[in-house]
Amino acid sequence: MDRPCLARPWRWFSLFLLLSLGLPAAAQGDAQAFVGARLLPITGPPIDDGVLLVRNGRIDAIGPRAGLSLPAGVPVVDLRGKTLMPGLVDTHSHVGGGWGADGSAPIQPDVRMLDAVNCRDSGLQRAQAGGITTLNVMSGSGHLMGGQTIYLKNRDATSIEALAYRFPDGSAMGGMKMANGTNSHRELPFPQTRGKSAALVREAFVAALEYRRKLEAAGGDVSKLPARELDQEGLLELIDGKRIVHHHTHRHDDVLTVLRLAEEFKLRVVLHHVSEAWKVADEIVAAKIPCSLIVIDTPGGKLEAAEFDASSAAELERRGAPELVAFHTDDWITDSRLFLRSAALAVRAGLSRETALAGLTINPARMLDLADRVGSLEVGKHADFIVLSGDPLSVYTRVEQTWVEGQKVFDQQDERDRRWAEGGWGAGQPRVQAVCCLGDGEDPR
């Protein structure tokens, strides 16, 4: 399903050159050791002067260098003075240049971001430069239900299928984007009030349950089956818990409306943005509903976010629910390259360091049903990690390297990659024009 990428040919050429020189294939291709860094496993205490052994794209061993012997001949990467932590997980992003639902209806659960994301979009490179290795890419919030999101492994690829995480049945993995508040208030057939918005959502789920009743009544008799309805199938995936609802919501009363609907239809929900979570923290914790928070340093934008407070994450933690805290970029609202800053701002507002780091890694991984694969440095998990110049919550720290399944996808020392991190001529363009008068025509990727 997941295919190797050829989007960075110079790296593959380097590997070919090493192998052609007669170096042991097993040592070069199967394993690699990263030694000397301060390791932040997230689910365990920090490890000074640590060792991370990667084999076949998975974490094979982790521990202090003094207590871990390396296999003979394994290539070693010296990371003394650096910090190494899991790749960041962004639960809410719009990179990829894709849009889902259109203006034909406010509820469109059949729309798939799988059919909309451009896997060669420059936003994915920017996310790599920010240390983001897993993304939930979704459509905008102008609909009560904007369609199926897609969970992406942020490797280099030439097709969206090569990036997609997979459900056990092999289909592309994702949740469902929903929204309330004023974003979805538009001209008919869209609602103009909060009450009507909730009513339309409730009607849609009731209709899906009726569709299920018809399917069950057919008893497997093809002649009695109702006509297939893709939108109803999408809604039933929510009711069955296969897909998680990723719900845009800001104001405290809108948050409570989401909790009400989640209880009524037994939906699995992650609240997104939650600008006024601090007002209804007790209710959120009682319902055990995770929150993917946006933490901004320049308040403004919409009236619903006027009472945003960066202390919302700390309020959830104070109530004994640190596992409910995660952060997201909503890129471009927060540039993917600045994602670490979100956690740092939350710490400044009272959140503990431990929960802040978990909110970038293991907690969002849980919110995407991916915690068994990513989000922490543990044996058996995907070798998705980042190398930092210093402490992850320091404004002076830079992402120096990003690795996905044991393959380096970003290196600050590589001039091409540095353009994604810092800008410069051609940065952000998917391709430099192939004409003689604009330099060498080299692809900035």
Residue 156, pLDDT > 80, answer yes
* Residues ≥6 apart with Cβ < 8 Å to 143: 101, 106, 107, 108, 177, 179, 184, 190
pLDDT in the model for residue 412: 96
Report the alpha-carbon distance of residue 414 to residue 256 in Å, rounded: 48
The model's pLDDT over 249-259, given as tens digits with 9 standing for 90+, comes to: 999 999 999 99
Peptide bond into 420 cis (omega under 30): no
25/145 same-domain check: no
Residue 17, pLDDT > 80, answer no
> What sections of 349-400 are H helices per DSSP?
353-358, 362-367
pLDDT in the model for residue 21: 32
Residue 40, pLDDT > 60, answer yes
- With respect to residue 433, please indicate whether it lies within any of the assigned structural domains: no
Query: Residues 257, 259, 262, 266: is their CA dihedral positive or negative?
Result: negative
Banded pLDDT at 13 (limits 50, 70, 90): very low
170/201 same-domain check: yes
Q: E-strand spans in 17-148? A: 31-35, 38-39, 50-55, 58-64, 76-78, 83-86, 88-93, 132-137, 145-148
pLDDT in the model for residue 407: 97
Q: What is the mean pLDDT of residues 236-247?
A: 98
pLDDT in the model for residue 366: 98
Residue 432: other Cβ atoms inside 10 A: 16
pLDDT in the model for residue 91: 98
Report the alpha-carbon distance of residue 109 to residue 228 in Å, rounded: 14
pTM of the model: 0.90
* Residues ≥6 apart with Cβ < 8 Å to 369: 173, 244
What number of CA atoms fall less than 13 Å from residue 161's CA on the CB side? 4
Residues 430 and 122 sit within 8 Å (Cβ to Cβ): yes
Q: What is the mean pLDDT of residues 233-261?
A: 98
- With respect to residue 220, please indicate whether it lies within any of the assigned structural domains: yes
Contacts 24+ apart (CB under 8 A), 160-168: 160/114, 160/117, 160/119, 161/1, 161/3, 162/2, 162/3, 162/5, 162/119, 163/119, 164/114, 165/134, 165/368, 165/370, 165/373, 166/1, 167/242
- With respect to residue 229, please indicate whether it lies within any of the assigned structural domains: yes
Residue 47, pLDDT > 50, answer yes
- With respect to residue 81, please indicate whether it lies within any of the assigned structural domains: yes
Residue 3, pLDDT > 80, answer no
- Residue 240, class by beta-carbon neighbours within 10 Å (0-12 exposed, 13-18 middle, 19+ buried)? exposed
Residue 153: strand pairing partners: 134
Q: What is the mean pLDDT of residues 25-48?
A: 85
Banded pLDDT at 341 (limits 50, 70, 90): very high
End residue of a domain, out of 323, 338, 367: 367
Q: What is the mean pLDDT of residues 16-36?
A: 56
Residues 124 and 133 sit within 8 Å (Cβ to Cβ): no
- How many domains does the chain divide into? 2
192/239 same-domain check: yes
Token reading at 28: 């070069």
Residue 52, pLDDT > 50, answer yes
Which domain covers residue 50, as residue numbers? 9-86+382-422
Residue 298, pLDDT > 90, answer no
pLDDT in the model for residue 348: 97
Residue 279: other Cβ atoms inside 10 A: 19
| φ, ψ for residue 370, nearest 5 deg | -120, 10
The model's pLDDT over 352-397, given as tens digits with 9 standing for 90+, comes to: 999 999 999 999 999 999 999 999 999 999 999 999 999 999 999 9
pLDDT in the model for residue 2: 39
pLDDT in the model for residue 297: 81
56/196 same-domain check: no
Residue 184 maps to which CATH number? Answer: 3.20.20.140
Q: What is the mean pLDDT of residues 400-415?
A: 97
Report the alpha-carbon distance of residue 272 to residue 133 in Å, rounded: 20
The residue ranking higher by pLDDT, 185 or 437, is 185
94/184 same-domain check: yes
353/388 same-domain check: no
The model's pLDDT over 103-142, given as tens digits with 9 standing for 90+, comes to: 999 999 999 999 999 999 999 999 999 999 999 999 999 9
Residues 152 and 401 sit within 8 Å (Cβ to Cβ): no
Residue 55: strand pairing partners: 31, 58
184/252 same-domain check: yes
212/71 same-domain check: no
Q: Which amino acid is at 126?
A: R
- Closest residue by Cα to residue 144 from 176, 122, 121: 176
277/315 same-domain check: yes
Residue 15, pLDDT > 90, answer no
Report which secondary-structure segment, H or E, holds 294.
none
DSSP state at residue 375: S
Burial 367-398 (b: 16+ CB within 10 A, else e): bbbbbebbbbbbeebbbbbbbbeeebbeeebb
Residue 28, pLDDT > 90, answer no
Burial 182-192 (b: 16+ CB within 10 A, else e): bbbbeeeebbe
Map tokens 């600045």 to a residue. 338
pLDDT in the model for residue 98: 82
Token reading at 251: 């104001």
Q: What is the mean pLDDT of residues 217-226?
A: 94
Residue 440, pLDDT > 60, answer no
Q: What is the mean pLDDT of residues 331-356?
A: 96
The three-state secondary structure class of 164 is strand
Map tokens 């004994």 to a residue. 320
Report the alpha-carbon distance of residue 187 to residue 73 in Å, rounded: 67
109/60 same-domain check: no
81/93 same-domain check: no
395/301 same-domain check: no
Task: Report the mean per-residue pLDDT for the chain.
Answer: 90
